[in-house]
Amino acid sequence: MNPNGTSEGVSGKALPEPIAIPRIRPTPRRGAERPPSRSPWFPSMTHPLLSPLPLPNGQVAPNRIWLAPMTNQQSHADGRLSEDELHWLERRAAGGFGVIETCATHVAADGQGWPGELGIFDDRHAQGWGQLVAAVQAHGAWLVPQLFHGGARARGDLTGSTPITTVDSADGSARAATDDDLRRVVARFRDAAARAMTAGADGVEIHGAHGYLPCQFLSTTLNTREDAWGGDLAGRARLLREITRAVREVVPADRMLCVRLSPEDFGQLTGLDLGESVQVARWLVDDGMDVLHLSLWDALAPSRQRPDVHPVAPFRSALPADVPIVVAGNVWSRADAEFCLDAGADAVALGRSAITTPDWPRTVARDGAAPVRPPVTREHLRAAGLGEAFVDYMARWDGFVSA
Ligand SMILES: Cc1cc2nc3c(=O)[nH]c(=O)nc-3n(C[C@H](O)[C@H](O)[C@H](O)COP(=O)(O)O)c2cc1C
């Protein structure tokens, strides 16, 4: 979803300009606990962003710079991996990103949100996943699929079925999911995670953000059900919690289970409350979550709901100290990323800056170079490893691609 709350990645409107925000008092950094760098790529590196990231399950991620999940429409129509997708992700692994998250990847045929979306809902996808994992891991990075179901925002014209969501939509475009539907969704997330494990992935991320199915259930405005899947926070969080527990059953303790949340309202996405999101995150730790990923759209800004604090702060004080928090949103320069660490985050996930600057960890984090900022040419994007479908996709973001 873009900040205007329309669809993942596709924007007819420009991203909001960074607002001038007084630097808020940072949460004390846990830098003293960080082990020295053991990065295979940068042996002499000492910058905290390039230091390994220990997880509570004993895994140690190579560094603290993640590739954010990015939908790009460059997979095959049936969800199989394409050469373009392989190349785009492998290029970022070669560029030094420690954790490579894939685009939102549908766990069920009826959850597909875009044409050309990578799929993980069928065994025919297995070969591609094995290939992708091997290619990324060959560079010392982790490969982590983002597991996704679009719910009301799935594309009926692509899936051939009426999208499911919390309640019947007024225009008939989506229907209320039944108990059986929701049990099936939970099973599909579990099966998809099992496929990822078979392929050798280092972990999985459950997409609980941006107004897709699990987030539709969390939202008070989107979820007005009165049964056990709605009502109070426990009811609204039930779907995401059941998914998390089911995924944990098949993801062994030594492989990461990460959940991405939108902590509060943003753009057209409403019905999310910061305090409720903190409670949900606490429950998710009980359910087996190793890492929390907060999608902030502007990680340099304070909470909209509580302008006196950075959004990471309440999560940091509520979660066990060893559960890392990853943040994404508007991180371009090394100083931006350092600000996020100072605000209490343990790692940053880069979206647009990783598109323009595939070697960001080497050039920006290590050497302090300036990232490439948009607008960029189509040729720049091709040279940065994007396939033609992805280049076309980015051309739909206002101001990203120069004419
Ligand atoms: C082209 C594009 C596609 C995106 N697709 C996804 C997605 O599939 N899943 C997701 O959780 N977020 C998605 N996002 C959001 C990003 O992961 C990230 O949170 C957001 O772009 C803010 O980070 P940035 O300012 O570094 O770009 C997408 C963003 C972009 C630019």
Q: How many CB atoms lie within 10 A of CB 326?
A: 27
Tell whether the model's pLDDT for residue 390 goes beyond 80. Answer: yes
Residue 33 pLDDT greater than 60, yes or no: no
For ligand 1, say whether the CB of 185 is within 6 Å of any of its atoms.
no
Q: Give the closest residue (by CA) to ligand 1 atom 30.
A: 9
Percent of the chain with pLDDT over 90: 88
- Closest among 80, 73, 192 to 144, alpha carbons compared: 192
Residue nearest to atom 23 of ligand 1 (CA): 329
pLDDT for 46? 73
pLDDT digits (tens, 9 = 90+) for 39-48: 444 444 579 9
Q: Which residues pair with 376 in a beta bridge?
A: 401
344 touches 359 (CB < 8 A): no
**pLDDT higher at 270 or 30:** 270
Pocket mutation for ligand 1, best pick of 1, 7, 8 (most atoms within 8 Å of C-beta): 8
> Is it the case that residue 2 has pLDDT exceeding 80?
no
**Is 67's pLDDT higher than 70?**
yes
Closest CA to 83 of 349, 387, 325: 387
Taking the C-alpha atoms of residue 7 and residue 151, their distance in angstroms, rounded to an integer, is 12
Residue-wise pLDDT for 334-357, tens only, equals 999 999 999 999 999 999 999 999
Query: Is residue 94 over pLDDT 90?
Result: yes
| 124 DSSP 8-state letter | G
pLDDT score, position 40 = 47
Is the pLDDT confidence value at 100 over 60? yes
Q: Supply 158's token pair.
A: 């692509």
Would you place residue 1 in the very low, low, confident or very high pLDDT band (cuts 50, 70, 90)? Answer: very low
Ligand 1 atom 10, closest CA? 69
pTM of the model as a whole: 0.92
> CB count, 10 Å around CB of 171?
6
Distance (Å) from CA 69 to ligand 1 centroid: 6
Average pLDDT over residues 320-328: 98
Ligand 1, residues 17, 352, 372, 392: which to mutate, most atoms within 8 A of Cβ?
352
* Average of per-residue pLDDT across 197-213: 98
| Residue 10 clears pLDDT 90, i.e. is over it | no
Using the CB atoms, write b or e for 114-134: b if 16+ within 10 Å. bebbbbbbeeebeebbbebbe
Coil/strand/helix, residue 235: helix
Q: Which domains does the chain have, with CATH numbers?
A: 47-372 (3.20.20.70)
Please answer whether residues 7 and 153 qualify as being in contact, where contact means their C-beta atoms are separated by less than 8 angstroms. Answer: yes
Q: What is the mean pLDDT of the chain?
A: 91
Q: What is the pLDDT of residue 12?
A: 34
C-alpha Rg value of the chain to the nearest Å: 19
Q: Which residues are catalytic?
A: 212
